[in-house]
Amino acid sequence: MTTAPPAEQRSPGPSELERAFDAAVAAEERIEPRDWMPDAYRATLVRQIAQHAHSEIIGMQPEANWITRAPSLRRKAILIAKVQDEAGHGLYLYSAAETLGVSRDELLDKLHAGRQRYSSIFNYPTLTWADVGAIGWLVDGAAITNQVPLCRCSYGPYARAMVRICKEESFHQRQGYELLLALSHGTEAQHAMAQDAVDRWWWPSLMMFGPPDDRSAHSAQSMAWKIKRHSNDELRQRFVDICVPQAASLGLTLPDPDLRWNEQRGHHDFGAIDWDEFSQVLKGNGPCNEQRIDQRRRAHDDGAWVREAASAHAVKRRARATEPPGPPPAVSSPTPRHAPQNGATTT
Protein backbone atom coordinates (compact mmCIF):
# COMPACT_ATOMS: atom_id res chain seq x y z
CA MET A 1 0.00 0.00 0.00
CA THR A 2 1.35 3.39 -0.92
CA THR A 3 1.08 5.05 2.42
CA ALA A 4 3.57 7.58 3.65
CA PRO A 5 6.01 6.29 6.23
CA PRO A 6 5.14 6.91 9.86
CA ALA A 7 6.85 9.44 12.08
CA GLU A 8 10.37 8.60 13.12
CA GLN A 9 9.77 8.51 16.86
CA ARG A 10 9.11 5.00 18.06
CA SER A 11 9.01 3.39 21.44
CA PRO A 12 11.86 0.84 21.12
CA GLY A 13 15.40 2.23 20.88
CA PRO A 14 16.98 2.68 17.46
CA SER A 15 19.40 -0.13 17.97
CA GLU A 16 16.55 -2.54 18.59
CA LEU A 17 14.78 -1.31 15.48
CA GLU A 18 17.95 -1.64 13.50
CA ARG A 19 18.47 -5.17 14.71
CA ALA A 20 14.92 -6.08 13.70
CA PHE A 21 15.48 -4.52 10.27
CA ASP A 22 18.80 -6.33 9.77
CA ALA A 23 17.23 -9.60 10.86
CA ALA A 24 14.34 -9.19 8.44
CA VAL A 25 16.72 -8.47 5.55
CA ALA A 26 18.94 -11.40 6.52
CA ALA A 27 15.91 -13.71 6.67
CA GLU A 28 14.97 -12.65 3.10
CA GLU A 29 11.81 -11.02 4.41
CA ARG A 30 10.61 -8.00 2.48
CA ILE A 31 10.72 -4.54 3.97
CA GLU A 32 7.39 -2.77 3.50
CA PRO A 33 6.64 0.97 3.35
CA ARG A 34 5.57 1.50 6.94
CA ASP A 35 8.33 -0.59 8.47
CA TRP A 36 11.14 1.17 10.23
CA MET A 37 14.19 1.43 8.00
CA PRO A 38 17.54 3.18 8.29
CA ASP A 39 17.55 6.64 6.74
CA ALA A 40 20.40 5.66 4.47
CA TYR A 41 18.45 2.64 3.20
CA ARG A 42 15.51 4.87 2.42
CA ALA A 43 17.74 7.44 0.70
CA THR A 44 19.50 4.77 -1.35
CA LEU A 45 16.18 3.36 -2.51
CA VAL A 46 14.76 6.75 -3.38
CA ARG A 47 17.87 7.57 -5.38
CA GLN A 48 17.90 4.22 -7.19
CA ILE A 49 14.17 3.93 -7.88
CA ALA A 50 13.96 7.55 -9.02
CA GLN A 51 16.91 7.09 -11.35
CA HIS A 52 15.30 3.96 -12.67
CA ALA A 53 11.95 5.70 -13.22
CA HIS A 54 13.64 8.66 -14.89
CA SER A 55 15.49 6.27 -17.19
CA GLU A 56 12.23 4.75 -18.31
CA ILE A 57 10.67 8.04 -19.28
CA ILE A 58 13.79 9.63 -20.78
CA GLY A 59 14.27 6.30 -22.52
CA MET A 60 11.02 6.87 -24.39
CA GLN A 61 12.63 9.62 -26.44
CA PRO A 62 15.31 7.91 -28.52
CA GLU A 63 12.85 5.29 -29.67
CA ALA A 64 9.82 7.54 -30.03
CA ASN A 65 12.02 9.39 -32.55
CA TRP A 66 11.34 6.56 -34.95
CA ILE A 67 7.62 5.98 -34.44
CA THR A 68 6.64 8.38 -37.20
CA ARG A 69 9.22 6.87 -39.56
CA ALA A 70 8.73 3.16 -38.85
CA PRO A 71 9.09 1.36 -42.19
CA SER A 72 6.11 -1.00 -41.86
CA LEU A 73 2.77 -0.79 -40.08
CA ARG A 74 3.57 -3.91 -38.08
CA ARG A 75 6.82 -2.37 -36.81
CA LYS A 76 5.03 0.87 -36.10
CA ALA A 77 2.44 -0.84 -33.89
CA ILE A 78 5.17 -2.74 -32.03
CA LEU A 79 7.18 0.41 -31.45
CA ILE A 80 4.23 2.45 -30.18
CA ALA A 81 3.32 -0.36 -27.78
CA LYS A 82 6.90 -0.58 -26.63
CA VAL A 83 7.39 3.11 -25.96
CA GLN A 84 4.02 3.12 -24.23
CA ASP A 85 5.28 0.37 -21.95
CA GLU A 86 8.26 2.56 -21.02
CA ALA A 87 5.85 5.24 -19.84
CA GLY A 88 3.98 2.58 -17.90
CA HIS A 89 7.18 1.32 -16.31
CA GLY A 90 8.07 4.85 -15.31
CA LEU A 91 4.69 5.10 -13.61
CA TYR A 92 5.08 1.81 -11.75
CA LEU A 93 8.47 2.96 -10.49
CA TYR A 94 7.38 6.43 -9.45
CA SER A 95 4.61 4.72 -7.47
CA ALA A 96 7.18 2.53 -5.78
CA ALA A 97 9.30 5.57 -4.94
CA GLU A 98 6.28 7.35 -3.51
CA THR A 99 5.86 4.65 -0.89
CA LEU A 100 9.09 6.00 0.58
CA GLY A 101 7.56 9.39 1.31
CA VAL A 102 8.60 11.39 -1.78
CA SER A 103 6.14 12.64 -4.39
CA ARG A 104 6.42 12.12 -8.12
CA ASP A 105 6.33 15.89 -8.65
CA GLU A 106 9.31 16.25 -6.36
CA LEU A 107 11.24 13.61 -8.26
CA LEU A 108 10.35 15.10 -11.64
CA ASP A 109 11.45 18.51 -10.43
CA LYS A 110 14.80 17.02 -9.45
CA LEU A 111 15.13 15.35 -12.84
CA HIS A 112 14.30 18.57 -14.63
CA ALA A 113 16.76 20.51 -12.50
CA GLY A 114 19.49 17.96 -13.22
CA ARG A 115 19.70 16.94 -9.57
CA GLN A 116 18.74 13.32 -10.21
CA ARG A 117 20.13 11.14 -12.94
CA TYR A 118 18.85 8.74 -15.52
CA SER A 119 20.74 6.04 -17.34
CA SER A 120 23.45 7.59 -19.50
CA ILE A 121 22.68 5.22 -22.34
CA PHE A 122 19.78 7.43 -23.37
CA ASN A 123 22.15 10.28 -24.08
CA TYR A 124 23.22 8.49 -27.23
CA PRO A 125 21.32 9.32 -30.43
CA THR A 126 19.17 6.99 -32.51
CA LEU A 127 20.48 7.70 -35.97
CA THR A 128 18.95 4.95 -38.07
CA TRP A 129 16.04 2.56 -37.87
CA ALA A 130 18.42 -0.22 -36.87
CA ASP A 131 19.10 1.68 -33.65
CA VAL A 132 15.58 0.75 -32.54
CA GLY A 133 16.59 -2.89 -32.89
CA ALA A 134 19.93 -2.39 -31.17
CA ILE A 135 18.22 -0.68 -28.25
CA GLY A 136 15.77 -3.53 -27.91
CA TRP A 137 18.40 -6.22 -28.11
CA LEU A 138 21.34 -4.67 -26.28
CA VAL A 139 19.99 -1.88 -24.09
CA ASP A 140 16.88 -3.72 -22.99
CA GLY A 141 18.93 -6.89 -22.77
CA ALA A 142 21.38 -5.20 -20.41
CA ALA A 143 18.49 -3.69 -18.48
CA ILE A 144 16.87 -7.10 -18.04
CA THR A 145 20.16 -8.60 -16.85
CA ASN A 146 20.28 -5.81 -14.29
CA GLN A 147 16.63 -6.00 -13.37
CA VAL A 148 15.84 -9.67 -12.97
CA PRO A 149 17.75 -9.81 -9.66
CA LEU A 150 15.85 -6.69 -8.55
CA CYS A 151 12.66 -8.76 -8.50
CA ARG A 152 14.13 -10.16 -5.25
CA CYS A 153 15.12 -6.78 -3.89
CA SER A 154 14.58 -6.44 -0.14
CA TYR A 155 12.16 -3.53 -0.55
CA GLY A 156 8.71 -4.94 -1.32
CA PRO A 157 7.18 -2.24 -3.55
CA TYR A 158 10.32 -2.02 -5.70
CA ALA A 159 10.52 -5.80 -6.04
CA ARG A 160 6.84 -5.99 -7.02
CA ALA A 161 7.22 -3.23 -9.61
CA MET A 162 10.20 -5.06 -11.05
CA VAL A 163 8.27 -8.32 -11.38
CA ARG A 164 5.69 -6.54 -13.49
CA ILE A 165 8.33 -4.69 -15.50
CA CYS A 166 10.46 -7.76 -16.21
CA LYS A 167 7.43 -9.62 -17.50
CA GLU A 168 6.78 -6.83 -19.96
CA GLU A 169 10.43 -6.21 -20.86
CA SER A 170 10.97 -9.58 -22.45
CA PHE A 171 8.75 -8.51 -25.35
CA HIS A 172 10.98 -5.46 -25.76
CA GLN A 173 14.13 -7.44 -26.10
CA ARG A 174 12.64 -9.99 -28.46
CA GLN A 175 11.18 -7.40 -30.80
CA GLY A 176 14.58 -5.72 -31.01
CA TYR A 177 16.30 -8.98 -31.80
CA GLU A 178 13.71 -9.86 -34.42
CA LEU A 179 14.05 -6.41 -35.97
CA LEU A 180 17.83 -6.80 -36.28
CA LEU A 181 17.43 -10.30 -37.64
CA ALA A 182 15.19 -9.01 -40.43
CA LEU A 183 17.75 -6.32 -41.28
CA SER A 184 20.71 -8.64 -41.06
CA HIS A 185 19.07 -11.07 -43.48
CA GLY A 186 17.69 -8.27 -45.66
CA THR A 187 19.37 -6.21 -48.35
CA GLU A 188 23.01 -5.28 -48.22
CA ALA A 189 22.10 -1.78 -47.10
CA GLN A 190 19.89 -3.13 -44.32
CA HIS A 191 22.60 -5.47 -43.12
CA ALA A 192 25.09 -2.61 -43.03
CA MET A 193 22.59 -0.51 -41.10
CA ALA A 194 22.21 -3.28 -38.50
CA GLN A 195 25.96 -3.76 -38.13
CA ASP A 196 26.53 -0.05 -37.76
CA ALA A 197 23.92 0.16 -35.01
CA VAL A 198 25.44 -2.73 -33.10
CA ASP A 199 28.88 -1.15 -33.48
CA ARG A 200 27.61 2.06 -31.91
CA TRP A 201 25.49 0.56 -29.13
CA TRP A 202 27.68 -2.30 -27.92
CA TRP A 203 30.10 -0.38 -25.72
CA PRO A 204 27.54 2.00 -24.22
CA SER A 205 25.45 -1.08 -23.33
CA LEU A 206 28.36 -2.56 -21.40
CA MET A 207 28.69 0.72 -19.53
CA MET A 208 25.08 0.37 -18.37
CA PHE A 209 26.22 -2.01 -15.63
CA GLY A 210 28.04 0.85 -13.97
CA PRO A 211 31.68 1.35 -13.04
CA PRO A 212 33.90 -1.63 -12.22
CA ASP A 213 33.35 -3.09 -8.77
CA ASP A 214 36.47 -1.51 -7.26
CA ARG A 215 35.22 1.94 -8.30
CA SER A 216 31.54 1.58 -7.56
CA ALA A 217 30.56 3.95 -4.78
CA HIS A 218 27.33 2.40 -3.56
CA SER A 219 27.72 -1.26 -4.34
CA ALA A 220 28.87 -2.80 -1.07
CA GLN A 221 26.18 -1.28 1.12
CA SER A 222 23.45 -2.02 -1.44
CA MET A 223 24.55 -5.64 -1.57
CA ALA A 224 24.45 -5.88 2.22
CA TRP A 225 20.93 -4.48 2.20
CA LYS A 226 19.91 -6.89 -0.54
CA ILE A 227 18.82 -4.04 -2.76
CA LYS A 228 21.48 -5.28 -5.13
CA ARG A 229 22.20 -8.97 -5.56
CA HIS A 230 25.16 -9.13 -7.91
CA SER A 231 28.12 -6.87 -8.54
CA ASN A 232 28.39 -4.66 -11.63
CA ASP A 233 31.19 -6.74 -13.11
CA GLU A 234 29.37 -10.00 -12.48
CA LEU A 235 26.30 -8.79 -14.33
CA ARG A 236 28.38 -7.30 -17.13
CA GLN A 237 30.15 -10.62 -17.63
CA ARG A 238 26.83 -12.45 -17.64
CA PHE A 239 25.54 -10.07 -20.33
CA VAL A 240 28.61 -10.49 -22.55
CA ASP A 241 28.35 -14.26 -22.31
CA ILE A 242 24.68 -14.12 -23.31
CA CYS A 243 25.25 -11.75 -26.23
CA VAL A 244 28.10 -13.50 -28.02
CA PRO A 245 26.06 -16.47 -29.30
CA GLN A 246 23.07 -14.21 -29.96
CA ALA A 247 25.22 -11.97 -32.17
CA ALA A 248 26.41 -15.04 -34.06
CA SER A 249 22.80 -16.09 -34.74
CA LEU A 250 22.09 -12.60 -35.99
CA GLY A 251 25.01 -12.78 -38.39
CA LEU A 252 26.44 -9.62 -36.87
CA THR A 253 29.77 -9.03 -35.16
CA LEU A 254 30.45 -7.34 -31.85
CA PRO A 255 32.95 -4.51 -32.22
CA ASP A 256 35.63 -5.86 -29.88
CA PRO A 257 38.81 -7.47 -31.27
CA ASP A 258 39.66 -8.78 -27.79
CA LEU A 259 36.41 -10.67 -27.39
CA ARG A 260 37.14 -14.39 -27.09
CA TRP A 261 36.13 -17.42 -25.06
CA ASN A 262 38.36 -18.11 -22.08
CA GLU A 263 38.25 -21.82 -21.38
CA GLN A 264 39.84 -21.44 -17.96
CA ARG A 265 37.43 -18.85 -16.67
CA GLY A 266 34.46 -20.37 -18.45
CA HIS A 267 33.61 -16.86 -19.64
CA HIS A 268 34.33 -14.53 -22.52
CA ASP A 269 37.20 -12.12 -22.15
CA PHE A 270 36.48 -8.70 -23.53
CA GLY A 271 38.33 -5.48 -24.23
CA ALA A 272 38.78 -2.47 -21.98
CA ILE A 273 35.80 -0.18 -21.58
CA ASP A 274 36.37 3.51 -22.17
CA TRP A 275 35.45 4.76 -18.72
CA ASP A 276 36.48 8.24 -19.68
CA GLU A 277 33.64 8.34 -22.20
CA PHE A 278 31.32 7.03 -19.53
CA SER A 279 32.19 9.78 -17.08
CA GLN A 280 32.00 12.44 -19.79
CA VAL A 281 28.46 11.38 -20.71
CA LEU A 282 27.58 11.15 -17.03
CA LYS A 283 28.82 14.70 -16.55
CA GLY A 284 26.43 15.94 -19.20
CA ASN A 285 28.77 15.96 -22.17
CA GLY A 286 27.09 13.15 -24.12
CA PRO A 287 25.64 13.79 -27.55
CA CYS A 288 22.04 14.22 -26.36
CA ASN A 289 22.08 15.13 -22.64
CA GLU A 290 20.71 18.59 -23.15
CA GLN A 291 18.14 17.73 -25.74
CA ARG A 292 16.69 14.87 -23.66
CA ILE A 293 16.20 17.01 -20.57
CA ASP A 294 14.93 19.92 -22.65
CA GLN A 295 12.25 17.79 -24.23
CA ARG A 296 11.20 16.41 -20.86
CA ARG A 297 11.03 19.87 -19.35
CA ARG A 298 9.12 21.22 -22.31
CA ALA A 299 6.54 18.44 -22.13
CA HIS A 300 6.12 19.10 -18.42
CA ASP A 301 5.92 22.88 -18.77
CA ASP A 302 3.66 22.81 -21.82
CA GLY A 303 1.38 20.41 -19.98
CA ALA A 304 1.11 22.51 -16.83
CA TRP A 305 -2.08 24.27 -17.92
CA VAL A 306 -3.69 20.91 -18.71
CA ARG A 307 -2.89 19.49 -15.29
CA GLU A 308 -4.08 22.70 -13.67
CA ALA A 309 -7.33 22.56 -15.63
CA ALA A 310 -8.01 19.02 -14.50
CA SER A 311 -7.34 19.94 -10.89
CA ALA A 312 -9.57 23.00 -11.13
CA HIS A 313 -12.33 20.93 -12.67
CA ALA A 314 -12.07 18.37 -9.88
CA VAL A 315 -12.47 21.14 -7.31
CA LYS A 316 -15.55 22.48 -9.11
CA ARG A 317 -16.98 19.02 -9.35
CA ARG A 318 -16.55 18.35 -5.65
CA ALA A 319 -18.24 21.64 -4.93
CA ARG A 320 -21.16 20.58 -7.11
CA ALA A 321 -21.27 17.12 -5.63
CA THR A 322 -24.80 17.61 -4.40
CA GLU A 323 -26.05 18.44 -7.89
CA PRO A 324 -26.95 15.74 -10.41
CA PRO A 325 -23.98 14.22 -12.27
CA GLY A 326 -22.90 15.29 -15.75
CA PRO A 327 -24.79 14.30 -18.88
CA PRO A 328 -24.60 10.72 -20.12
CA PRO A 329 -22.85 10.12 -23.45
CA ALA A 330 -25.29 10.54 -26.29
CA VAL A 331 -24.46 7.42 -28.22
CA SER A 332 -24.38 3.85 -26.95
CA SER A 333 -24.14 3.16 -23.28
CA PRO A 334 -21.66 5.04 -21.15
CA THR A 335 -18.46 3.36 -20.11
CA PRO A 336 -19.48 1.37 -17.04
CA ARG A 337 -18.31 2.82 -13.78
CA HIS A 338 -16.87 -0.07 -11.85
CA ALA A 339 -17.92 1.06 -8.44
CA PRO A 340 -17.48 -1.54 -5.76
CA GLN A 341 -20.77 -3.35 -5.39
CA ASN A 342 -20.26 -5.12 -2.13
CA GLY A 343 -18.16 -2.70 -0.20
CA ALA A 344 -14.40 -2.56 -0.12
CA THR A 345 -14.28 -4.80 2.93
CA THR A 346 -14.71 -7.84 0.69
CA THR A 347 -11.25 -7.24 -0.76
Residue ranges in 159-188 that form contacts with other proteins under rule CB under 8 A: 160-161, 164, 168, 179, 182-183, 186-187
Using CB under 8 A, pick the residue from 27, 28, 39, 189 that binds other proteins: 189
- In whole angstroms, the minimum distance from the beta carbon of 310 to other proteins comes to 4
Which of residues 15 and 187 has its CB atom nearest to other proteins in the complex?
Answer: 187
Query: Could you tell me if 142 and 204 are in contact, meaning their C-beta atoms sit under 8 angstroms apart?
Result: no
Nearer of residues 122 and 270 to other proteins, judged by Cβ: 122
Complex with other proteins: residue 43 or 312, whichever CB lies closer: 312
Q: Give yes or no for residue 95 binding other proteins (CB under 8 A).
A: yes
Considering only residues 46, 49, 50, 57, which one is a binding residue for other proteins as defined by CB under 8 A?
57
In the set 64, 139, 208, 252, which binds other proteins (CB under 8 A)?
Answer: 64
Based on the shown chain and the rule CB under 8 A, indicate whether residue 319 belongs to the binding site for other proteins.
Answer: no
Residues of this chain, 267-296, that bind other proteins according to CB under 8 A: 295
How big is the site for other proteins, counted in residues (CB under 8 A)?
A: 87
Binder to other proteins among 16, 22, 29, 105 (CB under 8 A)? 105
Part of the chain binding other proteins (CB under 8 A), chosen from 64-72, 229-237, 248-256, 259-267: 64-72
